[in-house]
Amino acid sequence: MDPRHSPLPEHAQRSGNVMSVGAVMSDENETSADAGSVSSETIMSAASASGGDEAEQPLPPTTLEEMPENLAESSRENRPSKQSDEDADYEKRMEEYRQRYEEDLRRHFPQLSNDDEEDDEDDEDDPLDPFTQSLLSAWDPETDTIDPRIHNPDDRDDPTPLPPQIETDELYMNDYIPTDWQQAYKPGTSIVLVPHKPANPHGYAAYATPANVNPSDWGYNDWLLARSRSEHALHHRPTPYTSMTEKQRRTAGLPPPFERDYSEHPTEPQASVSLKLVNFLSGGPWSGPAVFLCEVTQGARAFAMPQRVVAKFQDPMFFQASPPPDQPFYNRANFNRSREAGAYEQLRKTNCHGAPHLAPAYFGAFTAEIRTTNPALIGDEPFLPRSVGVILLEHIDGVSISSLCDRHGPEGALTPRYHDAPRNAFGQLDMSPASRLDMLKTFMDGFVRQLFAGVYQEEAISPDHILVAPAAHGRARVAMIHYRDSLVDCKCMKPQRKYDDFPHPPHPYTIFKDAYHLSALEGWFPCQWMDKDNDELEEWPIKTFDDDAFGPYHPLKIGTSDSGGERKAGEVV
């Protein structure tokens, strides 16, 4: 049983220290083992400082109303009791813990200086532009509750019944996960993929829940914990597409998805793709999605893909079973795939993927049958297949910006490792300041074109998610990965459609004029651009993108100039 839900001891309830006890438990849940060791040492030192079982001397009565009528009863009341000793000792320990806890907070999170407070006040007075406000959305994609109905028992369906239990040896079921990873995704393994249209993007507050998804299954509870995580992964199936939403289903009074299949499956047989795993790129037994470089051995021509592609497996067997609490690991696999495939599909539909665009070329969504070998499976055939969602992408033979830099700059800013090379040297990446700014220009150009296509990045721009690759001629290839936290505007319940009336993509100045958006790339461009009194970060995009390929640069003059025509970037307002 979770200790956070167990009742407090009787003496803790009477002592008036319920807040302190809650702080201990929340601290134990949110921090690492260090917090647990500190709290135990604190309690032990507090117990020794309290003098053991010696009770505090009671204070004499101060008013006549407090005087007992019978002095004999008074003498009995003043005698120390075992319960009062426990209360006094408990209060002393918790008071000392509270003091040390506050000292730790002050040590690790010092008070803001007057200068910092003045800066914060200045920031509050400076209004944010609409794009920044859209990025600072009201929900957090990793921690916030996805659907409020999961906490309202009167407005939700029952959880999906558990499937028949697999006969297993519980002692070894989950312990075999790392070995299962090595066997399932060993280089040289051949895997057959079948096309699979995933569900519409969901898992964010802005998205509607598909009709074949039950929000009552979102969250850890006794029902979920009744089975091992390996067994949940074995029963997992990627959610297919349906045009009906969960709200429409409930309005029509239709049964929940575990009683009726609302999925819209293709009626015509489709070709398959055969892959051979060549090289491991990222992921692991506890790291979520597994990414591999693969060789296409069959079906490349049918899907117009090259001989080498990147396959991203959303296998719930290898997701962390830890928080966020409203997204169990098998749900996160479906959430990630629906959102990532939805973003790539929108970019493919608007011809905004593949070179020279920012997004890698997208070749579609599939499912793979992965065989699980686990000695805990009892039976004549200890192999069980599970269905895993996969997306196939263009292989970009590059490296991330973060891997090209150290963090030795001011306040951890990027420090590029300089490798100067001739401008068009084949197979070499020019890391000179001018070349880095040219790559930044390519990134900003692609970013605003994605906005124009209706794909917004809800997560902050990260150097881990920007790849750069040397090119034989011209500019280096710049690409962005990690689209699972993107927002596809046309798939939202309330689309913003902020760029529908634009004849051209928004000017990069309107998006990147605030240092907030590019703060993670400080050092890739000059660090002094981030200074509060420095205007170069605003001036550079105006000068760099001074052409008619983008909309007007001034956020208050978007659309037309005073003369009725479109304002040219860089024109004085």
On whether the CB atoms of residues 261 and 160 are closer than 8 A, the answer is no
Look at residue 205 in the predicted model and tell me its pLDDT: 86
In this structure, the answer to whether residues 424 and 372 fall within a common structural domain is no
- Looking at the fold, whether 349 and 411 belong to one and the same domain comes out as no
- Within a 10 A sphere around the Cβ of 140, how many other Cβ atoms? 12
Domain match, 211 and 320 both = yes
Report the SS3 class of residue 457: strand
328 and 183 in a single domain? The answer is yes
Residue 55 lies in a domain: yes
Q: Are residues 348 and 425 in the same domain?
A: no
Q: Specify the amino acid at residue 451.
A: L
Residue 445 and residue 384 in one domain: no
Residue 141's nearest CA partner among 398, 338, 422 is 338
- Cα angle: 322, vertex 146, 479; to 5 degrees: 75
392: nearest Cα among 460, 315, 303: 303
Q: Give the pLDDT of residue 570.
A: 38
Q: What is the pLDDT along the chain (573 residues), one digit of tens a residue?
A: 444 444 444 444 444 433 333 333 334 343 333 433 333 443 344 334 444 444 444 444 444 444 444 444 444 444 445 556 666 766 776 676 667 667 665 655 555 444 444 444 444 444 444 444 444 344 344 444 444 444 455 556 777 766 666 766 655 667 777 878 888 899 999 999 999 999 999 988 899 999 998 887 776 666 666 777 777 777 788 989 999 998 898 888 888 888 888 888 877 767 899 999 999 998 877 778 899 999 999 999 989 999 999 999 998 888 876 655 556 666 788 888 999 999 999 999 999 999 999 999 999 999 999 887 776 665 555 567 888 999 999 999 889 999 999 887 777 889 888 655 545 455 678 888 999 999 999 999 999 999 999 999 877 789 999 999 987 666 789 999 989 889 999 999 999 998 888 889 999 988 888 778 888 999 999 999 988 888 888 889 888 888 788 876 654 444 433 333 444 433 433
Residue 138 is assigned to a structural domain of this protein: no
Q: Are 307 and 324 in contact (CB under 8 A)?
A: no
- The answer to the question of residue 133 being in a domain is no
Count how many domains the chain has: 3
Is 282 within the bounds of a domain?
yes
Asked which of 354, 369, 394 is the last residue of a domain, the reply is 394
Burial bucket for residue 469 (CB in 10 Å: 0-12, 13-18, 19+): middle
Task: Give yes or no: residues 458 and 526 share one domain.
Answer: yes
DSSP 377: B
> Which residue, chain included where needed, has tokens 């006094």?
88
Distance CA 351, CA 223 (A): 45
Beta bridge partners of 371: 385
Q: How many CA atoms lie within 13 A of 480 on its CB side?
A: 33
pLDDT of residue 106: 63
Residues 256, 371, single domain; the answer is yes
| 456 phi, psi to nearest 5 deg | -105, 140
- Report the distance separating Cα 568 and Cα 507, nearest Å: 10
What percentage of the chain's residues is helix, strand, coil (to nearest 5)?
A: 40, 15, 45
Please provide the size of the chain in residues: 573
431 and 451 fall within a common domain: yes
Domain annotation covers residue 390: yes
Instruction: Report if residue 134 sits inside a domain.
Output: no
Whether residue 285 has a cis bond before it, omega within 30° of 0: no
58 inside domain: yes
Residue-number span of the structural domain to which 102 is assigned: 3-109
Q: Check residue 189 and give its pLDDT.
A: 92
Same domain flag for 383 and 408: no
Pairwise CA distance, residues 302 & 194, whole Å: 12
Q: Which of 330, 283, 285, 348 is nearest to 311 (CA)?
A: 283
Can you give the pLDDT at residue 395?
95
Same domain? 388 vs 423? no
User: How confident is the model over 476-505, as pLDDT tens digits?
Assistant: 899 999 898 899 999 999 999 988 888 899
Q: Are strands 383-394 and 273-282 parallel, antiparallel or unpaired?
A: unpaired
Among 109, 127, 156, identify where a domain stops: 109
In the DSSP assignment, the letter for residue 522 is B
pLDDT, residue 170, reads 58
Domain boundary among 347, 367, 394: 394
State whether 271 and 378 are in the same domain: yes
DSSP string, 112-140: PPHHHHHHHHHHHHSPPPHHHHHHS-SS-
Residue 212 within any structural domain of the chain? yes
